[in-house]
Structure 1
């Protein structure tokens, strides 16, 4: 039972890391997008 729980915690942690990484990447992309279109 504790092995299943550990697997679930690892899977949850991976999902959170992937979500946060994509959120951060999206934020960086947004900054570049806004910066590139600021002068026009």
Structure 2
């Protein structure tokens, strides 16, 4: 495998990792928001 192909493969891996981290962070933030929303309904 040439250096250029290896760099492209690594770049795709980094991009995929960033997308997964962003998705997971938003999912976690949404869950926290849901907890606050549900807690506020009982006041």
TM-score, with structure 1 as normaliser: 0.93
Question: Deviation above 6 Å: which 4+ runs of structure 1?
Answer: none
Cα deviations by residue, 1:1-40 (Å, 9 ceiling, x for unpaired): 000000000000000000000000000000000000023x
Structure 2 distance, partners of 1:37, 1:23, is: 21
Q: Over aligned residues, Cα RMSD in angstroms?
A: 0.6
Structure 1 gaps, min length 5: none
| Larger Rg belongs to | 2
Structure 2 gaps, min length 5: none
Aligned length: 39
